[in-house]
Amino acid sequence: MMESMVKIARENLLRKYREKETKNEKKSEDKPWMNENIKKEIKKRKEINRAKRNTENEEEKRALLKKWEEQKAKINNLIRKEIEDYEIKITKEIKESDNKGKKMWESIYILRGKNKKDEKDKIFSENREELDQVEAGNRVEEFWKYIFNICKCDLTKKWKKEDIQKMLKDTEEEKVIKSVIKINEQLFFVEEKIAPMKKLEITQEHVTDVIERLKNKKAAGPDLLTP
């Protein structure tokens, strides 16, 4: 498990770095393995690249290109070293933790670039305004009070299409979310009772009648019986 986790971390962290590098390296300081030394070397590489773009001397441009490639390799080596040290640190924390299972999964989220504690679901109103937890809770409570007060809930009954369409129209006017109404259509009006499944009764007369209807010289069916 540890080896797999370290492998995922290395692949993910290096990939994330390369993606940022090809764009514009924004927010690289957020990476847990980033330090001032790496930032300084990245700044040097940018300066070399800028000089390479601005020069019109081909010989100087080739020399700067070589210098830029050397600087890039240097940065990659520094990053690789910091990532390995970071992996060792996380692995040590897992081994020393009293709750290894929980700590391991927390570390896996971090190594994959996901801070689980910082990720929160956002809830929006029908006007696309973000709601805080208290307001969202009140909206949900009001909605379900409305649903259960407007009709008798009977999950053994079928829906009546016309009444559902009328309900959707009425609730749309009252700014009740249509998609949620559709999901909960089974709570609304009835057309007829749904008949429960009954036990199949087979009589001797029925069996005899079926056998008499079988055609001769036919292959056996799933029951391996032939006429």
Sketch the domain layout of the chain as residue ranges.
2-118, 151-218
What tokens appear for 8 in the block?
């995922």
Looking from the CA of 20 toward its CB, the CA atoms found within 13 Å total 15
Q: What is the pLDDT of residues 38-84, one digit of tens each?
A: 999 999 999 999 999 999 999 999 999 999 999 999 999 999 999 88
List the one residue out of 157, 156, 178 whose CA is nearest residue 167. Answer: 178
Residue with tokens 């690249």: 49
Given a cut of 70, whether residue 227 has pLDDT beyond it is: no
CA R_g for the chain: 34
- Cα torsion 52, 55, 57, 63 to 10°: value is -20
Q: Indicate the range of 9-18, 51-60, 166-175 predicted with least confidence.
A: 9-18
Q: What is the pLDDT of residues 97-121, one digit of tens each?
A: 776 666 667 766 666 655 555 556 6
